[in-house]
């Protein structure tokens, strides 16, 4: 048992070190953003709790009475802010314009629950030093121990409530069609909430016997706090690494969304002359049908401008005003046409749907799936099944 406890304490120590490093990297990053700081806060408070258990299990608090005295009034288990931080982090991931307002401070007021035991210890110490209270620690110690047990109830309720609020927010965002389901700023928050839900379930399973007096001490003697804190270490590693790696993608998506909003807010462009349209459309069609530029997965508006010699503004205006398509919709329509032609060719049966999609100029499965369904109204697999049925009937 000592070996197992020693090993688990090492895991706690490594999680604590990792948590402080990743939260520091996020908070003091060169490009500071609200989402980075909020994620840093979540990881930091989880890390403090792990450090508290590690120091307690390895008797750091008992080095001498002054160390014990200092840490009795310094709160290390601060859980109540984690719920609001999760909720605001999800909002900051999905809304680049989101910012914390003064009214949002109310969400963090319940942190007083985390400070109850330390406030009681401070009152006792000051009372003894000033002679206002007798030096009888037993009733105060009993209160602090009891308080620490039952304060976990509002902590669990708080985190669970904010996880639920965050999930409801994402569900409403999806219903509004403002977030593509494969976008990093949408999928990562969902993944995070699923991980937190699993952790909350583990915590609840532990919490129920823990708050029952007849089982509390037996539970601690049997497994201590490891069933909660080892998953917390996993959570620290996962949130830190996954959240840190997702930041560049989410920042890019935020910039793209801001550009889209700016374009929507821009005044309607002037109508193009008919002769400009008449000259531009055949050139664009030739670039697609004869030159087959759409097969280049790196094709963008700049490359099309370079190939045709037509100014970018003119191409965009012709596509938007005359063909009623964006550049991506225009190019993807040709890619989908090529895909349909090739996927139905019996000589290409050895190729996968994704392989044909890449051959058609698409550079990602998610983009292909979304573009195909927008164009055809069905998924690629459903389309292929319908074509096979037609071939069998006609065959």
pLDDT tens for each residue of 202-219:
999 999 999 998 888 889
Q: Smallest Cα–Cα separation from 117: which of 138, 83, 140?
A: 140
Decide if 163 is inside a domain: yes
Asked, for residue 379, whether it belongs to a domain, the answer is yes
Query: Whole-angstrom Cα distance, residue 63 to residue 79?
Result: 26
pLDDT tens for residues 344-375? 777 767 778 888 888 888 888 888 888 888 88
Residue 282 exposed, middle or buried by CB count within 10 Å (0-12, 13-18, 19+): exposed
pLDDT band at 181 (very low <50, low <70, confident <90, very high): very low
CA distance readout (Å), 229 to 10, 38, 44, 315, 379: 12, 21, 14, 58, 44
pTM reported for the whole predicted model: 0.64
Predicted local confidence at residue 57, as pLDDT: 86
pLDDT at 266 over 60: no
Same domain, 38 and 169: yes
Residue 42 tokens, joined: 């979540």
DSSP symbol at 320: I
Distance CA 36, CA 30 (A): 11
Output the six-digit token pair for 308.
């045709």
Annotate 333-365 with b (16+ C-beta within 10 A) or e (fewer): bbbbebbbebbbeeeeeeeebeebbbbbbbeee
| Residue 178: φ, ψ to 5° | -95, -5
**pLDDT of residue 395 exceeding 50:** yes
Q: pLDDT grade, residue 42 (50/70/90)? A: very high
Which residue, 241, 263, 285, sits at the end of a domain?
Answer: 263
What mean pLDDT do residues 54-61 have? 83
pLDDT > 70 in the chain, percent:
88
Tell me the C-alpha distance between 137 and 37, whole Å.
Answer: 40
Alpha helices in the chain (DSSP H): 2-27, 34-57, 65-72, 82-94, 116-130, 137-150, 152-175, 184-210, 213-223, 226-265, 274-289, 301-308, 312-317, 327-343, 353-359, 365-376, 380-394
Residue 318 and residue 225 share a domain: no
- Distance (Å, whole) CA 121 – CA 111: 17
Evaluate whether residue 236 is within a structural domain. Answer: yes
Residue 88, in any domain of the structure: yes
Domain boundary at 242, 263, 284, which? 263
* Residues 65 and 41: beta-carbon distance below 8 Å: no
Are 139 and 286 members of one domain?
A: no
Is the per-residue pLDDT at 184 higher than 70? Answer: no
Examine the pLDDT at 68 and tell me if it is beyond 70. yes
Same domain? For 92 and 184 the reply is yes
Co-location of 243 and 179 in the same domain: yes
Query: Both 71 and 201 in a single domain?
Result: yes
Phi-psi region of 377 (alpha: psi -120 to 50; beta: other; left: phi over 0): left
For 267-310, write each residue's pLDDT tens digit: 555 567 778 888 888 888 898 888 889 898 888 888 888 888 88
Mean pLDDT value across the chain: 84
Is 16 inside any structural domain? yes
At residue 53, the pLDDT reads 92
- Please check the confidence at residue 20 and state whether its pLDDT lies above 90: yes
Residue with the two structure tokens 């996968």: 352
Give the lowest-confidence range in 29-33, 95-99, 163-167, 340-344.
Answer: 29-33
- Copy the structure tokens of residue 139: 């009733």
Residues 100 and 47 in one domain: yes
Pair (308, 249) in one structural domain? no
Ranking 21-25, 178-182, 301-305, 308-312 by mean pLDDT, the lowest is: 178-182
Tell me, yes or no, whether 183 and 298 share the same domain. Answer: no
Most confident range, picked from 154-163, 284-293, 372-381: 154-163
Kindly report the CATH number assigned to the domain that includes residue 88: 1.20.1070
CA–CA gap between residue 322 and residue 310 (Å, rounded): 16
Query: Is the pLDDT reported for residue 46 higher than 50?
Result: yes
Domain hosting residue 118, numbered range: 2-263
Q: Is 90 exceeded by the pLDDT of residue 156?
A: yes
Residue 219, domain member (yes or no): yes
Long-range CB contacts (within 8 A, 24+) of 289-293: 289/334, 292/334, 293/331
pLDDT of residue 353: 85
Q: Does pLDDT of 28 surpass 50?
A: yes
Pick the closest to residue 28 from 39, 18, 16 (CA basis): 39
Mean pLDDT of 145-155: 92
- Same domain, yes or no, for 204 and 349? no
Q: What band does 43 get if pLDDT is binned at 50, 70 and 90?
A: very high
Confidence of residue 241 (pLDDT cuts 50, 70, 90): confident
Q: How many domains does the chain have?
A: 2
Q: Which of 83, 142, 88, 93 lies closest to 114 in space, CA to CA? A: 83
Boundary residue ending a domain (263, 297, 316): 263
Domain assignment present for 269: no
Mean pLDDT of 24-33: 79
pLDDT band at 318 (very low <50, low <70, confident <90, very high): confident
* Residue 373 burial (10 A CB sphere; 0-12, 13-18, 19+): middle
Whether residue 25 is found in the same domain as residue 78: yes
Q: Domain holding 301: CATH number? A: 1.10.10.60
Q: What span, in angstroms and rounded, lies between the C-alpha atoms of 88 and 105?
A: 11
More confident residue, 112 or 390: 112
**208 and 230 part of one domain:** yes
Judge whether 268 lies within some domain.
Answer: no
In terms of C-beta density within 10 A (0-12 exposed, 13-18 middle, 19 or more buried), how is residue 253 classed?
A: buried
- Greater confidence (336 vs 393) lies with 336
Question: What confidence score (pLDDT) does residue 248 get?
Answer: 59
Nearby residues of 343 by Cβ (< 8 Å), 6 or more positions away: 351, 353, 356, 380, 384, 387
């Amino acid at each position: 048992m000592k070996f197992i406890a020693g090993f688990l304490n090492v895991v706690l120590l490594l999680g604590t070190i990792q948590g402080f490093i990743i939260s520091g990297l996020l908070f003091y990053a060169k490009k500071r953003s609200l989402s980075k700081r909020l994620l840093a806060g979540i990881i930091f408070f989880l890390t403090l709790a792990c450090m508290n258990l590690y120091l307690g299990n390895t008797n750091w608090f008992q080095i001498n009475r002054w160390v014990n005295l200092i840490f009795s009034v310094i709160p290390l288990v601060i859980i109540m802010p984690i719920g609001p931080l999760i909720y605001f982090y999800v909002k900051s991931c999905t809304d680049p314009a989101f910012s914390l307002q003064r009214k949002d401070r109310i969400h963090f007021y319940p942190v007083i629950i985390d400070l109850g035991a330390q406030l009681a210890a401070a009152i006792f110490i000051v009372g003894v030093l000033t002679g206002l209270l007798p030096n009888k620690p037993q009733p105060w110690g009993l209160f602090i121990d009891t308080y620490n047990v039952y304060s976990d109830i509002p902590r669990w309720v708080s985190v669970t409530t904010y996880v639920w609020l965050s999930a409801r927010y994402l569900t409403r965002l999806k219903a509004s069609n403002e977030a593509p389901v494969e976008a990093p700023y949408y999928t990562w928050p969902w993944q995070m909430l699923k991980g937190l839900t699993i952790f909350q379930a583990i915590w609840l399973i532990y919490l129920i016997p823990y708050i029952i007096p007849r089982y509390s001490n037996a539970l601690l003697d049997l497994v201590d706090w490891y069933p909660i804190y080892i998953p917390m270490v996993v959570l620290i590693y996962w949130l830190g690494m996954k959240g840190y790696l997702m930041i560049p993608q989410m920042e890019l998506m935020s910039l793209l969304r801001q550009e889209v909003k700016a374009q929507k807010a821009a005044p309607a462009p002037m109508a193009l002359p008919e002769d400009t349209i008449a000259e531009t459309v055949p050139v664009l069609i030739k670039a697609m049908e004869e030159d087959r530029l759409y097969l280049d997965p790196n094709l963008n508006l700049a490359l099309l401008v370079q190939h045709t010699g037509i100014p970018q503004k003119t191409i965009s205006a012709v596509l938007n005003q005359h063909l009623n398509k964006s550049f991506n919709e225009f190019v993807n329509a040709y890619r989908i046409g090529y895909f349909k032609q090739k996927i139905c060719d019996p000589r290409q049966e050895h190729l996968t749907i994704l392989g044909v999609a890449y051959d058609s100029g698409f550079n990602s499965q998610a983009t292909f799936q979304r573009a195909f369904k927008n164009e055809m109204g069905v998924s690629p697999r459903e389309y292929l099944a319908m074509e096979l049925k037609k071939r069998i009937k006609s065959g």
